[in-house]
Amino acid sequence: MTSVSILATVCKKEISAKPVFAIIALIDQQNEERFPVAIPEKWLDSYCDVILKVGLNLQPGQPIVIGAGPEMFRTPIESRPFIHRLTQRAYDHGASEVEVHWFDPVIARLHKERGSVERLAEYDEWKADRFLQAAKKDAAFIMTYAPDPSLYNGIAAERLDAYRKAELAALAPFRRLYHGTMEVSWTVASVVTTEWASRVFPEVSVTEAKEKLWGLLLKAVRADQEDPIAAWEQHLGHLRKRQQYMNDRQFKELRYEAPGTRLTVGLPDKHLWISGATTTNGKGIPYSPNVPTEEIFTSPDRSRTSGTVRSTLPLSYGGRLIRDLAFRFEQGKIVEATADLPADELASVLGLDHDEGARYLGEIALVPQRSPIAELNTVFYNTLFDENASCHLAFGGGFPTAIEGGAGLPSDEVLSRGVNVSAVHVDFMMGSSELQIDGVTAAGEIVPLFRNGNWVV
């Protein structure tokens, strides 16, 4: 019996008094998509609440869009049971509407593999406009992130690049709304999928791998604690103190030293360090863009990065898993990039060959090795988690809000103040227990900030 026929049968039995979740449970049971029994439902509900109350800071009557933005943030159909739960909790907390944009990996692969190159290079305006229209209605956005770096294995690079370039260009106005000016409330949160769990825990069965990954995910977002919201408030308070220290010092540059890394990064005048503790939307309502978050971050001066940097964790990006990533910078620009991919393929995947801004840094972020996620001692192959276990950099677009008075400035003025502008933004991890970071003041004083991968101030 299909899901539709089950629902029809249930409806015939006059289930109007039954809660919607009971109907959903029947459908999910038929499709064998229920949660592993080892996952406490209280933790799952707490995770929903953290996303809604900490991540979005959902306001009464506000609509929500789940799976917003580019393909990598669409909601995997495998995650239906959790998304059903999240949707119900959203309505419980006062959402006026919840809209979900699903991602089917089979359909997506077939499109990249079999669709015409001409069609791959087109991105219909209505697909991008729907998010802008939702933003006009004061919607809050949840980006669901569960990458599968092997999804597009074997597909010609030019086909993938055609799609990605079109998608980046079409979604640039929406990206500027949430990632640039931060006019709207948004948060990135992950859901466990079979492919992701099997990559993190390849030595066990799929069921056990998913149970283990859900357990680590829920621990990382503090959903396992007695009062997760209070735990988050305390955590954000700690981030706020770090952020305030860095803003008060106004270092002119940071110097990084580690095996394979010897890098100097200049900072703009009147730069601002940001964290999930102090992010606000265009109406001044606070929210936290990442769940989890352990970082404080800012945008560097795009023209004042020099030296070399080596990544310390694999990067899952563009349907590929990239290892041994390293860059050399001169006057802010990436002049050499190497990895376990051919140079031309690497440049294409990362956008270095078609977006000049992608060759400059847009973000530097500080995360201690003592962060709760780092202490899980797990490579997640998921940037949301790996970047919150490690200091990291991002090449591509910076944050206008990372300079005083930067919010709402046009791109040319943002650029003139030293913050990079690009449709690309790719984080890569470079932290380790061997990383040393010094801050240099305008007077030339050298202040130790990190020793052996941890804060010393």
Mind listing the pLDDT tens digit for each residue in 168-210?
999 999 998 898 888 999 999 999 999 999 999 999 999 999 9
What is the mean pLDDT of the segment spanning 47-52? 98
Q: How far is CA 343 from CA 151, 246, 290, 348, 395, in A?
A: 21, 37, 31, 9, 17
pLDDT higher than 50, residue 29: no
What is the mean pLDDT of the segment spanning 393-420? 94
Q: Model confidence at 16, in pLDDT bands (50, 70, 90)? A: very low
Same domain, 10 and 100: no
pLDDT higher than 80, residue 146: yes
Same domain, 358 and 409: yes
Same domain, 345 and 385: yes
How far apart, in whole angstroms, are the C-alpha atoms of residue 457 and residue 296? 14
Q: Strand, coil or helix: what is 309?
A: strand
362: domain range? 228-455
Which of 159, 185, 220 represents a domain boundary (last residue)?
220
Which of 220, 245, 273 represents a domain boundary (last residue)?
220
Same domain, 360 and 437: yes
Same domain, 359 and 450: yes
Same domain, 393 and 257: yes
How far apart, in whole angstroms, are the C-alpha atoms of residue 360 and residue 304? 10
Q: What's residue 32's pLDDT?
A: 46
Q: Model confidence at 353, in pLDDT bands (50, 70, 90)? A: confident
Share of the chain above pLDDT 70, in %: 92
Least confident interval from 7-16, 247-256, 283-292:
7-16
Displacement of CA 318 from its chain's centroid (Å): 14
For residue range 298-322, list pLDDT tens digits in order.
Answer: 999 999 999 999 999 999 887 788 9
Share of the chain above pLDDT 90, in %: 83
Other C-beta atoms within 10 Å of 93: how many?
A: 17
State the chain's mean pLDDT as an integer.
91
How far apart, in whole angstroms, are the C-alpha atoms of residue 291 and residue 388? 10
Q: Which residues have CB under 8 Å from 181's CB, separation 6+?
A: 282, 400, 401, 407, 408
What is the mean pLDDT of the segment spanning 99-108? 97
Encoding tokens for residue 181? 């000016």
Same domain, 48 and 141: yes
For residue range 237-283, list pLDDT tens digits in order.
Answer: 999 999 999 999 999 999 999 999 999 999 999 999 999 998 999 99
More confidently predicted of 293 and 407: 293
Q: What's residue 318's pLDDT?
A: 75
For residue range 105-128, list pLDDT tens digits in order.
Answer: 999 999 999 999 999 999 999 999
More confidently predicted of 63 and 147: 63
How far apart, in whole angstroms, are the C-alpha atoms of residue 387 and residue 371? 11
Same domain, 177 and 150: yes
CATH number for position 134: 3.40.1830.10
Alpha helices in 68-205 (DSSP H): 80-92, 105-114, 117-120, 125-136, 157-175, 194-200
Q: Model confidence at 447, in pLDDT bands (50, 70, 90)? A: very high
| Model confidence pTM above 0.95 | no
Same domain, 202 and 232: no
Same domain, 417 and 322: yes
Same domain, 202 and 265: no
How far apart, in whole angstroms, are the C-alpha atoms of residue 382 and residue 385? 6
User: Residue 184's closest CA among 49, 275, 279?
Assistant: 279
Same domain, 297 and 202: no
Which of 220, 241, 260 represents a domain boundary (last residue)?
220
Residue type at position 46: S
Q: What's residue 35's pLDDT?
A: 61
Domain count of the chain? Answer: 3
Q: Strand, coil or helix: what is 308?
A: strand
